[in-house]
Amino acid sequence: MNQLEALKQYTTVVADTGDFEQMAAFAPQDATTNPSLILKAVQMPAYQPLLADAVAGVKARGMANKAQAVDAVIDALLVRFGCEILKHVPGRVSTEVDARLSFDTAATVAKGQQLVALYNAQGVHNERLLIKVASTWEGIQAAAQLEAAGIKTNLTLLFSFAQAVACANARVQLISPFVGRIYDWYKKQAGANWDEAAMAGANDPGVVSVTRIYRYYKRHGIPTEVMGASFRNVGQIAALAGCDLLTISPELLAQLRGSEQPLARLLDPSDHSSTDDLMQLDEATFRFMHNQDAMASDKLSEGIRAFVKDTDTLEALVAAQM
């Protein structure tokens, strides 16, 4: 048994890519995308027809406002990728709301509903969809509203315990704590003092963060799914074997499939060892707790800026096609 097969015994494996032709080889249950992954995929020759089709479809509608037309093409493109991905996975696909809406609850709700309506028009039912929303206070409140309307959400760019608690309070379907980006921050801060061996496995700061969240959720019977994301190496994945879900790049999926080293379950839903009491956060407490975590504050802001930059680049590609 290779490590990928072993991992699937304990954890739902999710492909973290927009390259749906590549993901089929790993037989994941679900798939996730984000603006950066879609931008990367749409520039591949194999996926140029998807962009051309999306542009042609919007042109046929004769939209006079170019900005609205570009926005419509991007939504159509996201949904087209999602529909193609769903042909290769039996479960769900996550599609991300425009990161520029990260601090606008009403606009995030409207965009999420719009994306779901486009999927529904293609015959894709809500149970196969997760709308990805940044884990800002406004994003979490938007997710609560979407959940109440029957639209399941995936709260992304999650770095702090405060974000995880607020998501639990909002009863969102799933959260995606970012293991690798947490690791990146602490490694950069340590500089020459970073000890890779000492900070690996269970001591990896990203692994520590996800483990704390996972155990808090299990101790308190919180149904929100925990999906570790943004991995830098297979050691981080192995250290979270047993997490509800893990979303993994094709490169790391290939490494797991190519290794027959033992891979044991390290997280278990029956583990109620968390020392964190159940919390309810109002906005002021959330903002203060999150602000006190320098890593989380830095990485959330940085992540939103990066997704906005890639969305802007995608818009420029679409505008050129228009």
- CATH number of the domain to which 309 belongs: 3.20.20.70
DSSP 180-224: HHHHHHHHHHHGGG--TTTTSGGGSHHHHHHHHHHHHHHHTT---
Catalytic residue among 111, 132, 152, 218: 132
Q: Which residues contact 155 (CB under 8 A, 6 or more apart)?
A: 132, 133, 134, 135, 139, 140, 143, 163, 167, 172, 174, 175, 176
The Cα 228–Cα 16 span in angstroms is: 11
Containing domain of residue 32, as a range? 3-321
Q: Are 167 and 223 in contact (CB under 8 A)?
A: no
Beta-carbon neighbour count of residue 294 at 10 Å? Answer: 10
Q: Is 299 a catalytic residue?
A: no
Residue keyed to tokens 């680049």: 313
Q: What pLDDT is stored for residue 63 in this prediction?
A: 78
Q: What pLDDT is stored for residue 21 in this prediction?
A: 84
10-residue averages of pLDDT along the chain (322 residues): 97 93 91 89 89 89 85 93 94 96 98 98 97 98 98 98 98 98 98 98 98 98 98 98 97 97 96 96 98 98 96 92 84
- Number of domains, the chain: 1
Please list the residues that pair with 132 across neighbouring strands.
Answer: 96, 154
Q: What pLDDT is stored for residue 248 in this prediction?
A: 97
Distance set, CA 22 to CA 7, 11, 46, 76, 84 (Å): 20, 21, 11, 22, 12
